Structure 1
């Protein structure tokens, strides 16, 4: 282990990546290795700038101050979900020799920015500041807190964000902030089809002037490989099963922001208690004991490529209405090739006990489909359908 200027520098991103390959945690991938090389080069530039800052501080102390060095070009790494972008970002963030650094989900960062802007405007209203424009002081405070900014899941969907990004990041870059971001989209497609997108285009130009854009086109979807090793039908219901569902959910979400969502159907809004990107999670009661119909389930499968269903009970004739909805739900998921994760009170063939009524006959189809949806072939079909839909 080596220590340089009080900071541990015993590993480069390349060394840490090689260690993961050697231990079998990941497979070596040439596309990932190209990104690893760029991350290590960026670490070197950040270290050089850090040392230059210290030299300038000493120079000022002895009357030998120098001009500020040129800004550092950051990185914008984009590619499909599951290509290892977040993993590489984590390795970079752990190693980069900067004390004033921050790794944050982009949406959380922007929510914090809007909070700061609101507080500044309130301070102006209260006469506590004479600065009418909140962007410069907010940017200055952010840059003081962290001059190396790592954003996971860089995306722009909110018009309020879109309208301030150009001015905000112009100010951040002027303060010497270095940006490293991962995203699922090319910078040119940010805020695509957004309202008043023309006003957003200067930000794209600014961004490309301050980051090197890398497309991570990996051969393997590593997140999908991990998911394919997870059970998708978990029984019986127990705390252990709940934990397995939570672990599967965490793998699917992959660090993404989880929030409440709504899907509109025929003027009505279906509450989605937990959603992240193209995945949603419900309890059986929320999906099948609520007054939902086939068109509602179709809308959900059109919106989400993966659905989690917690706590499917063993049903009998008194639960025939819920069983009917469950049949409709599985039919919709089957037709849409939706990926499923479910915790249930019994295996599919033992979920519905009634031997009379149309549901008893129809549930045989549900059993067959639930069995098929547990296969590796189904997971591959689901992944292909999700990519096509996206």
Structure 2
């Protein structure tokens, strides 16, 4: 038996892959009910066609098969991916809670047992087994497994329990704000929905650089509110004070360069995003494996990326790891997957260098624009976005 800790997308994907290969796992989840708070807005990369191969794309989207994305973004640059004959970039724009629900339905239909409100309190292992102490709704109990998978997020209790360090850096020189706002119709162009402003109008679904920072805006659900994100450098913020709609509106006004009379969306349409980040975390576990205990997804790596690379990375971790567990070949897991996390980290650093305001960035962006105009440059960036 394999025990998986964490019933998020990565843990559920591991469970589905194990089941597909003839192994029935048990999934332990601390939360009593699935988390409805907004998280990721979709998947970008090679995980999308992999989901299609497993019969999951149509249940998630209602469409028969994925097609390469004609456009995307990188470092604030719009990319015309139609220039590539073998474009590797695929998009699956579904909220994470929808992804989790569909994966859970398929896992349970395949016979996977998902135990909510079950917390891991202790882990010990021998060369042949892993013993897991669990606290459930009716009391404590013990499980024995051939392998334990920690897919329990950035604050992974599994990673901490086995003493794996989470190496990396925290950057506190940029404030990130995200939230749902109702943008006034007069601020948007009627046909394309672009945001009016100095240097604009600005297209949705892209990061836009201005002399004061970076912003993006997009609708992910029909005619609902826009999800607005801003990045500002060199600010001091009291992070003990909760984020407000007014704070986000003021930030957008500063970055855009003109007042925006945006409003909060109706509470009944929620839950809505409203969050501030004052520390950008870039961390990768010192090892993805400790004996028969393995890490996947955010438990193994957290990167302050742009363009939604982490779900793609985590789902591909899950597919690789499940295959290795069922063939008893976990020795190479860390070596196989770590380079992909390193690539996401390198891409995040490159994009931040292209987005940060300043004269040095202006010159860097001119050089990068020329690079993207070549097929070699566009292909390298497309492969970076697609991940692996």
Q: What's the TM-score bracket when you normalise by the shorter of the two chains?
A: under 0.3
Q: Larger relative CO (CA 8 A, sep 6+): 1 or 2?
A: 2
Bigger proportion of residues as helix = 1
State TM-score, norm by structure 1: 0.22
Higher strand share: 2
TM-score w.r.t. the length of structure 2 is 0.22
Higher CA-based Rg: 1
